[in-house]
Amino acid sequence: AVPAAMNVAAGLAASRVQAGADAEIPAAARALPALEPGLRETLARPEDAAAALYGLLLSGDADIRQRQRSRIAVAEATALAAAAERWHDALQGMDRIAWRQVLDLAVESVRQRAPAGRAACLALARDLADADRERSLFEALLLGRMQRALRPAGAVRGFYGKPLPPARVQAEAATVLGVMAYLGQPHDDAAAGTAWREGAARAASFGVGRLPMPARRACTLAEWDAAVQRLDGLAPLFKGELLTACSFVMRADGALTEDETELLRALADLLDMPLPDGSRFQAA
């Protein structure tokens, strides 16, 4: 029998928009054993790579997924919507590590698109992620990676192009710190409160310490995403201060989970900032 991944690769190749049939597989792709070679090959082509990104965002709910497919067909092409569905099916049998590998390779390949194509891919990805009105940790990671790599240079941020003062986004900073704290302490509100205060003390420019800690029910990833979009209007100095504060939240209990690390990296990507210097969150 032909492996399922090979069937997917064949379907993608048949439906893709021609973008250089002789494109070579990137060296980084060849070094990722978790991916079938046929799938790695399709990721070298920008249009197929875009389909993979959309496939990563397709919902498990059939009705929502159908609406998402319709949006892909309108924004891109019907063939690309079908390819995204095939990627969705193939990804169900892959683990979290493979999902990240697909994400990293696909984003790098989509960067080969023209600026308008990159911007369209980023806008559609956010639209697909918003389809169920929720936000998962992986979606936050994916959108962060895509935004850092694909957002047009010179994108206007802040208020009429001017950086936002930290006092204007005090509540948003409190929410971001709250999500970080509750993520690290899923069952212990007291420990989460201690972690939040550790971070608030390091976000002095925002005055977060003058606010009460947000309730757990208000600290969803959807709220986190909305807050981060507004915090992107800060000057780099204050973005760095917030990232450092978040790192203190996550280290407050002396333990560090993979989810916490990924969320901090997503935040750094969305704010277009490096991870805190000298921290244990730096990529290996």
> How far is Cα 141 from Cα 31, in angstroms, rounded to an integer?
22
C-alpha distances out from residue 75 to 17, 103, 111, 253, Å: 14, 20, 18, 45
pLDDT recorded at residue 73: 97
Determine which helix (DSSP H) or strand (DSSP E) holds 173, and give its type and residue range. helix 170-184
Q: Does residue 66 register a pLDDT over 70? A: yes
In this structure, what is the dihedral angle of CA atoms 135, 137, 138, 142, given to the nearest 10 degrees?
70
How open is the CA angle 128-131-136, to the nearest 5 degrees? Answer: 80
Q: Decide: 107 and 44 in contact? Cβ < 8 Å.
A: no
For 135-173, the pLDDT digits (tens) are 999 999 999 999 999 987 655 455 456 899 999 999 999
For 185-232, the pLDDT digits (tens) are 999 999 999 999 999 999 999 999 999 999 999 999 999 999 999 999
For 100-114, the pLDDT digits (tens) are 889 999 999 999 999
Q: What is the largest CA-CA distance in the chain?
A: 64
Confirm whether pTM is higher than 0.85.
no
Indicate the pLDDT class of residue 8, thresholds 50, 70 and 90: very low
Q: Does residue 58 register a pLDDT over 90? A: yes
Q: How far is CA 128 from the centre of its chain?
A: 12
Can you give the residue ranges of every domain in the chain?
4-150, 166-270
pLDDT recorded at residue 161: 66
pLDDT recorded at residue 216: 97
For 10-37, the pLDDT digits (tens) are 444 444 433 333 344 444 444 455 566 6
Q: Does residue 237 register a pLDDT over 90? A: yes
As a whole number, mean pLDDT of residues 234-245 equals 96
As a whole number, mean pLDDT of residues 73-84 equals 95
